[in-house]
Structure 1
Amino acid sequence: MTIKLMTAAAFTALTALPAMSQEMPDTMVWTAYDVGSAGYAEASAIADAFGKQFGTRVRIQPSGSGIGRLQPLLQGRADYAFLATEAFFMSEGAFDFAVPEWGPHQLRTVAGRPAGITLITAADAGIDTVADAKGKRIAFVAGNPSVNVKCEAILAFGGLTLDDVEIVTFPTYAAAMSSMTRNESDATCTTPTTSQLYELAESPRGIHYAPLEADNQQGWDQLLKVLPIMGPSDEDIAAGLAEGEIAKMAAYRYPVITTTPDKSADEVYAFTKALDETYDLYKDGTATMVRWSLDVAGRPPIDVPFHEGAIRYLKEKGIWTEEDDAWNQKRIARLDAMVAAWDEFKAANPDLEGEAFAEAWMARRAEVVAGLN
């Protein structure tokens, strides 16, 4: 009887443990932006929660470049990468990845925190709507396609191209963001809580958020042709925004938790479930981490398609919809088309190098995009 009671007690103790503790690995490696960045801070908070809940030890490899964050993932030395828009750029073989050594690669996401962005202007610049930016000075950042391509997309919302505005390029992100206060530019595109914007709001020029209204279908169609990874967003936390006011913006994802499609569905399912189950442990890690709730972070649009393992969990939670599934299938088709076009392009242009290669490929990429439904 004693043996039976001991066996029953042991079985009860085992079954009382969280199911995930049997599924999560002992150790994991993630990549993220540099120490001090929002991406690193959020990855660290989630890693700490995984350690407390499941005993999983996570090593985070920081890198200041998109390539540095992606290489360990593709080489199998990292399990997940906390990425910015380089996830989309790599899936398209664009910018830094428009070189023979890189090109489009298959990637999949688990989730990504929404971050607001719009055309942010000096209030005295005479820019009420995006269309009003025609002929105005727009601050860009040298060597930062992640920021600049979002601005190009937002300008498209107002029916504008880069030729319709005066691009003023600054050497650093900080210099570009503070340029409006110094009256060196009239507008830029960034998140609404960047520190330099609070200075602009308090300056004689003041601050204004050009609205990206959700019901402007034409505007959104034009924006998404340039960058199909954003959606409408109502922001209530922004520099100079009065309490209770809402600014109509776009939402992109940063960080985007990314992995490879050959990562097993069971592993990604377990990771997604862990991300959900530890939410209460990390949601207060930074001011914006409440947006990691999967009903927000686990829905498209996002930079790359969702992994099948993540979708399985999202369906179980009642989060994933038929519309989400249609978006995902369309995004997979686009990525597949890019990879196929890249293979054909490389085979047909063995002698192209450097800038000539990148320009020719980007022209071919534009043709592929134009041919998609």
Structure 2
Amino acid sequence: MKKTLLRTTIGALMACAALPAMSQELPGTMVWTSYDVGSAGYAEASAIADAFGREFGTRVRIQPSGSGIGRLQPLLQGRADYAFLATEAFFLGEGAYDFSTPEWGPHQLRAIAGRPAGITLIAAGDAGINTVEDARGKRIAFVAGNPSVNVKCEAILAFGGLTLDDVEVVMFPTYGSAMSSMTRNESDATCTTPTTSQLYELAESPRGIQYAPLHADNDAGWEQLLEVLPIMSPSEEDVAAGVPEGEITLMAAYRYPVITTTDEKSEDDVYAFIKALDETYDLYKDGTAAMHRWSLDLSGRPAIDVPFHEGAIRYLREIGVWTEEDDAWNERRLARMNALTDAWASFHAENADMAEEDFSEAWMAHRAEVISALN
């Protein structure tokens, strides 16, 4: 009887040892939020969720939303584990724009990884804009109510030493109308990703297309850009409307989507998640044309919208991706986020009775002072 029990116990232990370690660490179910169905963010989240299910048996429910607030609320309320976000991650971490109201303010978010996406100033070929500096006095298309797009353009203009006062900002009601405005000769340039569908139309139109390069060795330009939006880095893009195969364009890379969680998520949970993200890479990397950029040597390093989570950093160190320079970047981002959340606590307490519009305007001014004091 004792021998039988011993053999049974040993057999059970061996069976457990044979199971994939990650299948024991990942939860059986997870909830993620993402952009709407049909978006790149939703497609990529779905491909990764499918890979998790095939490899580890984890069931993932994705909650799509067309608004940043809709993607963030479930995460902050504990109803979602992770969020596949765009620049709203940075805005919430800073308490900026939509999140400058008394109900929001800066929150402690953490990044796990983020797929690089290129962006630059893209002009009509006949507008005479060969460099960012050439945009002075030109018509630049912005999108009403879309700070995510507009602040990136403001930062790219700063690369060329320009402010919004140096250009003619033309506001369009939708993203699509802004992107197609160059073809209609209603603007001269805009800032967007190089594969936006309207750019292919521009490239084939009589106006043609021109990319303003963001050279990586232009230290002054990058310093000016990062003062406006400290979440981008140099990028070389080889797929772009109107660019012949084999040629590259020099852009800035931001992260979309950014897999984000809160600072309260346990280190072990996040470690298990990013390890699964790495181990299933071959299952999802061909899910879309851009998904190969989820390789952690690209998606697991700064710059990114918010500081990296400690659980992610632990795994990135183990696989040799994380560097001392990345540590220094992360410490600076943590210091900035902590300074803003501390400043918000006192500012909110002293100004809670202000009208919302006045409150937001005053907070954004105070936020700028706090950031300036850190530099």
Bin of the TM-score, shorter chain as denominator length: over 0.9
Amino acid at match of 1:58: V
CA distance in 2, matches of 1:371, 1:132: 32
Which one of the candidate residues 13, 16, 27 is aligned to 1:14?
16
The structural deviation recorded for 1:17 is 1.6
CA distance in 2, matches of 1:115, 1:178: 20
Q: How does 1:319-334 map to 2 (within 5 A)?
A: 319-334=321-336
> Equivalent residue for 2:269?
267
CA distance in 2, matches of 1:25, 1:211: 45
Which one of the candidate residues 368, 371, 374 is aligned to 1:369?
371
CA distance in 1, matches of 2:123, 2:354: 41
Amino acid at match of 1:249: M
CA distance in 2, matches of 1:13, 1:285: 33
The structural deviation recorded for 1:12 is 3.1
Q: Does 1:73 align with 2:80?
A: no
Which one of the candidate residues 151, 154, 157 is aligned to 2:153?
151
Amino acid at match of 1:331: R
CA distance in 2, matches of 1:131, 1:348: 42
CA distance in 1, matches of 2:102, 2:202: 42
- Partner-residue secondary structure (3-state), 2:71: helix
The structural deviation recorded for 1:355 is 1.2
The structural deviation recorded for 1:351 is 2.2
Superposition CA RMSD, Å: 1.1
Q: How does 1:281-296 map to 2 (within 5 A)?
A: 281-296=283-298
| CA displacement 1:130-172 (0-9 Å, x = unmatched) | 0000000000011100000000000000000000000011111
Amino acid at match of 1:167: V
- Partner-residue secondary structure (3-state), 2:314: helix
The structural deviation recorded for 1:2 is 7.2
- Partner-residue secondary structure (3-state), 1:181: coil
> Equivalent residue for 1:124?
126
CA distance in 1, matches of 2:78, 2:6: 46
- Partner-residue secondary structure (3-state), 1:125: coil
CA distance in 1, matches of 2:276, 2:355: 45
**Structure 1: gaps spanning 5 or more residues:** none
Q: How does 1:146-185 map to 2 (within 5 A)?
A: 146-185=148-187
CA distance in 1, matches of 2:29, 2:113: 20
Amino acid at match of 1:232: P
CA distance in 2, matches of 1:180, 1:233: 24
In the alignment, is the contact (CA less than 8 A) between 2:209 and 2:242 conserved in 1? Answer: yes
> Equivalent residue for 1:58?
60
Q: Does 1:220 align with 2:222?
A: yes
Amino acid at match of 2:129: I
Amino acid at match of 2:359: F
> Equivalent residue for 1:311?
313
**What TM-score does the superposition give when structure 1 sets the normalisation length?**
0.98
The structural deviation recorded for 1:7 is 5.1
